[in-house]
Amino acid sequence: MEYKKILFIGLGGAGQRHLRIFKELLPEDTEFIGYRRTNKTPLLNKDFSVNSKSTLKEQYNIILYNSFSEALKQDPDLIVISNPTSLHYDAAKAAAEMGTAIFIEKPFSHNLEGFEHIEDLVLKNNLNFFISFQRRFHPYLKKVKEIVANGTIGKVINSVFNVCTFVPQWHPYEDFHDLYACKHELGGGVLLTEIHELDLCYWYFVLPEYVYCTGGNYSNIKMDVEDTAHVSLKYKDFSVQVNLCFMQNYNRRCLFIAGTDGYIEWNQDGNKLLICSYTSGEKKEFTNPEFSNDDMFFPQATYFLYQFQNIESKKYLEIGKASLAIVEAAKESMTKGTLTKLGI
């Protein structure tokens, strides 16, 4: 589908990255419009440093509105949703009811309330729907998917995913206390914010049968959301451990998957992938230390803008629903201290 007029709802860090990449990939005559509720985030460079030499309007030739209804009246053919998580649903609902294509920043929303309404509208009206889980476009993480699927390492018996970041260092241009990730009302918390690894687990292993989670606000910085979560995903004959923390001042992102015939290990530090076979003793190592986030976002945007087929909307609705279902089960388990059966 060819998009001639694109509305961006929310132009913080995530929204500006999508805008920058879409602008680079699309024809010069593409119209860009935006709706900004708070207008807090300044123009950012691609490394998220502040560009004080220009403005969003000048840099991207974008027309900005401070009224959501006025922005919708411009009749866009695609709406890119990247406002705070708890505000995703209302924007997606408006887009679906207008019959407009939807590109939505992860996660779909802060819970699954009302999901079926949007799902019905998207499918009934044959709308393009895409959710941004850009790690599915990381070449090494795609390779992990292939290896798990083709049985190279045999039957999976053990798997651990670790994500540790430090929110105060994410956006140097703003007070992290005001960041959506740190506020319950905006859909914050590490489970929703770092949902990528839960999506990878769904991608690699499908939905688990049960979820068990412990966690909370463990850091010295008091918030009304969890900054740490330890999630156990129980499958029929193996389990997966996902450890999430966004208040650890030592960044770490890695995974380890062990099977009966070998193992896979990936570390974001240096972007290293190791594949080991127990039977042959062979070890294959891949590394690309120059890899950047843009190297995931550009292929994702290219795929959506030029290769995406309408029939795939159903798959991406399922992706959005599955990842949120895991989060909801984890939150229930964390609150009740019990094993929670996945309810979808």
- One domain, residues 189 and 283: yes
- What integer pLDDT is reported at residue 204 of this predicted model? 98
For residues 151 and 83, membership in a common domain is answered with no
Percent share of the chain, pLDDT over 90: 94
CB of 148 closer than 8 Å to CB of 257: yes
| Cross-strand partners of 291 | none
pLDDT at 344: 75
Taking CA atoms, 117 is separated from 108, 127, 137, 266, in Å, by 13, 14, 29, 38
* Predicted pLDDT at 174: 85
Q: Contact, 240 vs 258, CB < 8 A? A: no
Same domain, 245 and 119: no
Residues 65 and 158 in one domain: no
Domain boundary among 97, 115, 133: 133
Does one domain contain both 121 and 139? no
**Are 104 and 81 within 8 A, CB to CB?**
yes
- 169 and 312 inside one domain: yes
User: What's the CA angle centered on 210, arms 208 and 211, to 5 degrees?
Assistant: 95
CATH number at residue 74: 3.40.50.720
**pLDDT, tens digit (0-9, with 9 covering 90-100), for 24-61:** 999 999 999 999 988 889 999 999 999 999 999 999 99
Q: Please give the order of strands across the beta sheet that includes 129-132.
A: 63-65, 31-35, 5-9, 78-81, 101-105, 129-132
Domain end among 114, 133, 152: 133
> pLDDT per residue over 160-177, tens digit each?
999 999 999 998 888 889
**Residue given tokens 């950012």 in the structure block:** 44
* pLDDT, position 1: 84
* In a shared domain, residues 70 and 39: yes
**pLDDT given at position 87:** 97
Give me the amino acid identity at 28. Answer: E
Q: Which run of H or of E encompasses 115?
A: helix 115-124
Kindly state whether residues 113 and 150 are assigned to the same domain.
Answer: no
- Structural domain boundaries enclosing 116: 5-133
Tally the domains of the chain.
2
Q: Which residues of 318-335 are buried (b: 16+ CB within 10 A; e: fewer)?
A: ebbbbbbbbbbbbbebbe
* Final residue in a domain of this structure, among 133, 152, 168: 133
- Amino acid 171: pLDDT: 87
In the numeric block, the tokens 């220009």 are attached to 54
57-81: pLDDT as tens digits: 999 999 999 999 999 999 999 999 9
Residues of the chain with pLDDT below 50 are none
State whether 248 and 203 are in the same domain: yes
β-bridge partners, 273: 266, 286
Give residue 154's pLDDT. 97
pLDDT score recorded for residue 39: 83
**What CATH number did the domain enclosing 229 receive?**
3.30.360.10
Is the domain of 284 the same as that of 313? Answer: yes
